[in-house]
Amino acid sequence: MAGSTYGRLFQISTWGESHGRALGVVVDGCPAGLALCEDDIQKFLDRRKPGQNAFSTPRREEDSVEILSGVFEGKTTGCPISMLVYNQTQRSADYREIANYYRPGHADYTFDKKYGFRDYRGGGRSSGRETIGRVAAGAVACKILASLGISFTSYVRSIGPVEIDPARFCEAEISRNPLNMPDAAAAEQAAEYLSKCKANGDSAGGVVECIVRHLPAGLGDPVFEKLSANLAKAICSIGAVKSFEIGDGFSASRARGSENNDGFVCREPGSIQKLTNHSGGTLGGISDGSELLLRAGFKPTPSISVPQQTVSRSGEPLTVRVKGRHDPLIAARAVVVVESMAAITIVDALFANMYARMDAITDFYK
């Protein structure tokens, strides 16, 4: 239950700092018999790699993953899967300067207040590189889900003021543009907006959307272990996330009951469906068999070279411009992180649901 461990049944423990020797994760609770190799993980890590386009940091990171345990003869054994990525470039010198003051929008101040000092190199544990462990674990979770036919569509919905037009939604487009938007025109507009931000030494926020298909009904438990509640925690635990919605989200708060309720229909025997999906795939916090839809709001990258007012550790006023090679946008690279955290949470709910009924238990042990 310490800070870097997540999940009840499918449990991950991430570790590592931005400029430490390595970063990684231990996945405990993965079932035996899943085909798994380093390439499965690497594909996911490559989706969060920087240096892929004009809008991401020019740092060159290889982020090459190694599986150290839990896989034997190409299959998971049921024992913990330890995965790590060694850090290649550790230009700590860039960061020596920031050791002594608090960068606005970063965790520098709160880490110092909590722990008395901090690993200031590149944000240490609060760096975006912390998500390497999440994504490696997410790759495992997605592989489990894929074997059950459950799939994800994740993308950037908006960047600053630029939002996708649902009428132009095109899933294939997501991987064609560097901003992971499913709308080519919006992606172009967003690129212009980002160019201006970058030119000004500024950054932009954005919203990531994630759709999960073919989820069985019944996942999540009543009250505190609602699937929706655990997704909220999973998503809001990602650095820079400030908001979360499921289904219509805040729009539902402006709607009337007659608009927001999803009616039921039975189009073929034995298959009850909802007529609409304002709820975003859960009812009472439990998956209802329709598409799960969630949204994560990311704040703008806090590292900007626009001058900002701050103080040194001892309280002297300073004006700073944060140097270094930073993305002007977090949302695009975070798409795979959102998908990973959702997948990990869903796997946990899938396992927990297996002992919800006596008849299932009796069947299993027959």
Restricting to residues 202-261, name those near its own copies by CB under 8 A.
202-207, 216-218, 221-226, 228-237, 239, 241-250, 252-261
Shortest separation between residue 168's beta carbon and its own copies, angstroms: 20
325 labeled part of a ligand binding site = yes
Q: What is the largest CA-CA distance in the chain?
A: 72
Shortest separation between residue 172's beta carbon and its own copies, angstroms: 25
Stretch that binds its own copies, among 4-12, 45-53, 172-180, 182-190 (CB under 8 A): 4-12
Residue number with CB closer to its own copies (166 or 263): 263
48 labeled part of a ligand binding site = yes
Task: List Cβ<8 Å contacts ≥24 apart for 110-116.
Answer: 112/313
Stretch that binds its own copies, among 6-14, 40-48, 56-64, 169-177 (CB under 8 A): 6-14
Which one of 90, 310, 324, 325 is in contact with its own copies (CB under 8 A)? 310
Q: Which residues contact 47 (CB under 8 A, 6 or more apart)?
A: 135, 335, 336
Binding of residue 275 to its own copies (CB under 8 A): yes
**3-state secondary structure (DSSP) of residue 175:** helix
Residue number with CB closer to its own copies (169 or 244): 244
Binding of residue 10 to its own copies (CB under 8 A): yes
362 labeled part of a ligand binding site = no
Residue number with CB closer to its own copies (74 or 172): 74
Q: Using alpha carbons, list the distances in angstroms from residue 358 to 348, 353, 355, 363.
A: 20, 12, 7, 9
Binding of residue 353 to its own copies (CB under 8 A): yes
284 labeled part of a ligand binding site = yes
Binding of residue 172 to its own copies (CB under 8 A): no
> In angstroms, rounded to a whole number, what is the distance separating the alpha carbons of residues 321 and 346?
41
> In angstroms, rounded to a whole number, what is the distance separating the alpha carbons of residues 53 and 26?
31
Residues 70-89 contacting its own copies, CB under 8 A: 70, 72, 75-82, 84
Query: How many residues are there in the chain?
Result: 366
> In angstroms, rounded to a whole number, what is the distance separating the alpha carbons of residues 132 and 336?
10
Binding of residue 29 to its own copies (CB under 8 A): yes
Binding of residue 358 to its own copies (CB under 8 A): yes
End-to-end alpha carbon distance in the chain: 35
Interface with its own copies: number of residues (CB under 8 A): 169
Environment class of 297 (CB within 10 Å of its CB; exposed 0-12, middle 13-18, buried 19+): buried
Contact 215, 281 (CB under 8 A): yes
> In angstroms, rounded to a whole number, what is the distance separating the alpha carbons of residues 346 and 152?
11
228 labeled part of a ligand binding site = no
Binding of residue 148 to its own copies (CB under 8 A): yes
Residues flagged as binding site for FMN: 125-127, 284, 299-303, 325
Residues flagged as binding site for NADP(+): 48
Residues flagged as binding site: 48, 125-127, 284, 299-303, 325
